[in-house]
Amino acid sequence: MTKISLAAHPFLLGFDQLERLAERAAKGAEGYPPYNIEHQGPDGFRITLAVAGFSEDDLSITLEDRQLVIRGRQAGPEDDRVFLHRGIAARAFQRSFVLADGVEVIAARLENGLLDIDLRRSVPDSIVQTIPISRK
């Protein structure tokens, strides 16, 4: 069976990367760490990740080709600790979010085990653009 791509439609010029972006966003859809996405104001967003037990030094936030990547890795285990029950996850993680064009990261802060990342979508001043026609 042949796979028909939405981006192959003749009226959707330049959308060939849309399918790849959707596949990239679906990768790594594991449930750890849990997160929220909030809409703030007309052009703002906040991603909040629950990262209990992680310090600022254990976390990294990068923007790689329109993909926001949050990684966490705690320092090695302490040998002198003996757990009777260990219910707080301390495993390494990587969580990714694909950002649309014009969305930029404004700030990130860690407080009370929650990592907040603020984003803003920049809206162009003019959406209508006139294209001049030249003569040969």
Distances (CA, A) of 111 to 51, 53, 108: 10, 11, 10
pLDDT tens string 58-67: 999 999 888 9
Residue 52 to residue 29: CA distance in whole angstroms: 20
What domain count does the chain have?
Answer: 1
Residue 129 lies in a domain: no
Q: Which is it for strands 59-64 and 93-98: parallel, antiparallel or unpaired?
A: unpaired
Q: What CATH number does the domain containing 45 carry? A: 2.60.40.790
Residue 125 to residue 116: CA distance in whole angstroms: 28
Whole domain around residue 80: which residue ranges? 33-121
Sole residue written with tokens 């990587």:
94
pLDDT tens string 7-52: 566 666 666 666 666 666 566 556 889 999 999 988 999 999 999 9
Residue 46 lies in a domain: yes
Residue 87 lies in a domain: yes
Residue 73 lies in a domain: yes
Residue 88 lies in a domain: yes
**pLDDT of amino acid 78:** 67
Distances (CA, A) of 126 to 44, 83, 102, 130: 19, 60, 14, 11
Residue 2 lies in a domain: no
Residue 40 lies in a domain: yes
Residue 133 lies in a domain: no
